[in-house]
Every structure is written in structure tokens, then in C-alpha cells.
Amino acid sequence: MSTLAKATEIITGTETSDREHALLLLREMLRIRRFEEKAAEIYTMSKILGFLHLYIGEEAVAVGAMQALTPEDRIVATYREHGQALARGVPAKSLMAEMYGKATGCSHGHGGSMHFFDVDRRFYGGYGIVGGGLPIAVGLALADRMQGHPEIVTACFFGDGAVAEGEFFESLNLSALWKLPVLWLCENNLYAMGTALERHQAQTNITFKAQGQGVPSSTVDGMDVVAVEAACRQAAEIVRKTGNPFLVELRTYRYRAHSMADPDLYRSKEEIAEWQTRDPIATYQTRLRGQALLNDKELSEIEGEVAKEVADAIDFAETSPWEPVENLLKDVCAPEAPKP
């Protein structure tokens, strides 16, 4: 598709700026991959508890999409939001500490893996109820529109499973009806837990659904970080210029089970293997090598730096304090304000 064409332009150039950007995309994807590989290990040691939803395999989506956003833009994500948070620049240590449940976590240990928040980075959180973040995105964009900033984009990530929820349609309609600057990002990884898209949707073409609600859309190969960046830049551009919503469907795949609790009985090893041949990181590395933009030395440097960042995050989490139990009821409501 045209965005793919447009995409390759970005990369084939050879000025350093392009090269730097290419390596940045690779590094960002690796940060997510290595961070989550460690998190999974730590989970087995019962230091991370509850739900842990890994993004491994989908890194190109968060990394590519995040390139299209400015610091003023707002982000709404799901319970599967490690990738978005890291790509947005939320410090790995505050994320790891959050998963440990430490007071130094990005949500003070109140949220865990599913509920990362970082308001300074306009990261408005991971939402655990499927579809539950979409109305929030509508509201953030409504506030920007009403406050005279239709150029601020609210990027809302959600999965293919969320399109089964009525809130998806209600939210798309409101965003189009009220002309709100929302960039709808549908991470179509083909499964909602164990339910394949074609087993939960009679019409699997998500762009038809968007059209029915008056939201223009595009579809992109979510395993190709360059294509994702191009498609999202194009879409974000439209949203920023028009102040109206746009939906991008990102075709991707989750390599790990839905969560650490999932026995993953509903898909074949072959299917997973087939998608692994399209690994967003491996394929991008090959591509960069082919374009002489990456060599072994550079790669191991990057891997080294990433490994250190993750190790530091774990140290930080391990050594961070717990929130005192006396604070249990803190932050439920505002501290009593003087009354009229």
C-alpha cells in the first residue's frame, strides 16, 4: 500500500539523521523485547504477581506509532501496555518497580503491570477492561478541542477483541460526530485471548466498521516498524490538520500466550512459527544490515546498553521501598479541602 512505499523512502536515504532514526527504531524495539523477557522470568519467581500480558512480537506497533506523536499528544493504552510505556519514554525502572508493587513504581504500586500511568509524559494509563479506554480517549480529545487545541492528538491503542464491545462503536461515532482529534490504533493480533477474530466477528474487516461510524481508516503491516511509522505519521498528520479522528488497523501477532496464565491451546505451533519468520526485530535487523546501516559491533553495543537498562531497572525495583501500609487509604479521594 501507498504508506509502505512512502515508508521505504524514510529508510533508503543515507544521511546520518536517517541512520540514527533507523537505529533508534531498532533500539526501542529491543528495549521492549528484553524488558519483557526479563519480566517473564521474574514473574516465575513470584516477584511480579497478578496478570502479566506480554507484547513480544508486537513491538513494531508501539515503536512505529510513537514516532508520530509529539510530547503534547496524549496516549491511552490497554493492560498490554509495556511496549507503549517504554516507547513513550516512561523510565524502565519506574515500570519494573510498578510490576514489583513498589512505592517507586509509576503508579506507586497501586496498578501493577496492567495500569501504568505517567502524566508528565501524557501517558494516561493502561486500562484493564476491554474497550474501557476508548471513551476516555474521546474525553481527552474533547477537552483539547474545547480548549482550542485540536492539533493535540490523543492516540488510543486497543485490540481486535475490543471491536466486539459496543463502546468501540459508540466511541468512534462520538469522535467523528464531535470532530475530535483521536488517532484510533487497533492492534489486530488476530486473537482476543483464545478467540480468533473470525470466530468473534461476522465481518472481520475493521475498516468497514470504522467507515460505518464515519471514521476514515487505513491498514498497515504491524510487523514492519517502518511501515507502521509511515502509516501512523500519515494518520496523525490528518488528525492534526483536520482535528478529526482517523483509525489505523495494525496487523500484528502475539508470540507469547495471552497472559502468563494462558496455556495457549487455541492456536498451532505452525501458525506461531510462521509469524516468527516475520519477527519485527529480526527482519528489521536484516533489512538494516542489507542497507549497511547496521553491523555486529553496533548491534552488540545496542544490546549491551539495553541489557544494562533492564538490569538497572531490576536493581531499582529490588531495592525500592514498599508503600507503608498506613497509606492504604491515601489517594482514594482528595485530602479534605476547606469547605464553603
Ligand X SMILES: Cc1ncc(C[n+]2csc(CCOP(=O)(O)OP(=O)(O)O)c2C)c(N)n1
Residue 254 per-residue DSSP state: -
Burial environment of residue 47 by CB neighbours within 10 A (0 to 12, 13 to 18, 19 or more): middle
Helix, strand, coil distribution of the chain in percent, nearest 5: 50, 10, 35
Q: Is residue 280 a contact residue for another protein (CB under 8 A)?
A: no
Residue 220 per-residue DSSP state: E
Q: Residue 66: CB partners within 8 Å, gap ≥ 6? A: 28, 84, 87, 88
Q: Which is nearer to Mg ion, 158 or 284 (CB)?
A: 158
Query: What part of residues 182-201 is at the interface with a second copy (CB under 8 A)?
Result: 199-201
| Among 19-27, 35-43, 114-122, 185-193, the segment contacting Mg ion (CB under 5 A) | 185-193
| Among 7-15, 26-34, 187-195, 236-244, the segment contacting another protein (CB under 8 A) | 187-195
- Among 42, 153, 174, 225, indicate the residue that binds another protein (CB under 8 A): 174
Q: Position 139: which residue type?
A: G
| Among 77-85, 136-144, 181-189, 285-293, the segment contacting Mg ion (CB under 5 A) | 181-189
Cell of 320: 525500592
- Among 106, 186, 190, 228, indicate the residue that binds another protein (CB under 8 A): 106
- Among 107, 113, 189, 218, indicate the residue that binds ligand X (CB under 6 A): 189
Q: How far is the CB of 159 from ligand X (least distance, A)?
A: 2
Q: How many CA atoms lie within 13 A of 232 on its CB side?
A: 32
Mark residues 62-91: x for contact with ligand X by CB under 6 A, - for none. Answer: ------------------x-----------
Query: What part of residues 147-186 is at the interface with a second copy (CB under 8 A)?
Result: 164-170, 173, 176-177
Query: What part of residues 17-56 is at the interface with another protein (CB under 8 A)?
Result: 49-51
Q: Residue 245: CB partners within 8 Å, gap ≥ 6? A: 141, 172, 175, 176, 180, 181, 182, 183, 184, 215, 239
CA R_g for the chain: 20
Which among a second copy, Mg ion, ligand X, none contacts residue 208 (Cβ within 5 to 8 A by kind)? a second copy
| Among 127-135, 146-154, 158-166, 212-220, the segment contacting Mg ion (CB under 5 A) | 158-166
Of 88, 81, 86, 83, nearest to 67 by C-alpha is: 88
Q: Is residue 57 a contact residue for ligand X (CB under 6 A)?
A: no
Query: What part of residues 207-246 is at the interface with ligand X (CB under 6 A)?
Result: none
Query: What part of residues 198-217 is at the interface with a second copy (CB under 8 A)?
Result: 199-203, 205, 208-215
Of 238, 182, 173, 174, nearest to 212 by C-alpha is: 173
d(CA 293, CA 19): 6
Q: Residue 262: CB partners within 8 Å, gap ≥ 6? A: 193, 194
225-242 and 59-66 helices, crossing angle to 10°: 40
- Among 131, 150, 181, 245, indicate the residue that binds another protein (CB under 8 A): 131
Q: Is residue 132 a contact residue for a second copy (CB under 8 A)?
A: no
Q: Is residue 129 a contact residue for another protein (CB under 8 A)?
A: yes
For strands 217-221 and 246-251, give the pairing.
parallel
Which among Mg ion, a second copy, another protein, none contacts residue 189 (Cβ within 5 to 8 A by kind)? Mg ion
First to last CA, the chain: 61
Which among another protein, ligand X, a second copy, none contacts residue 80 (Cβ within 5 to 8 A by kind)? ligand X
Q: Is residue 193 a contact residue for ligand X (CB under 6 A)?
A: yes
Positions in the binding site for a second copy (CB under 8 A): 164-170, 173, 176-177, 199-203, 205, 208-215
Positions in the binding site for Mg ion (CB under 5 A): 159-161, 189, 191
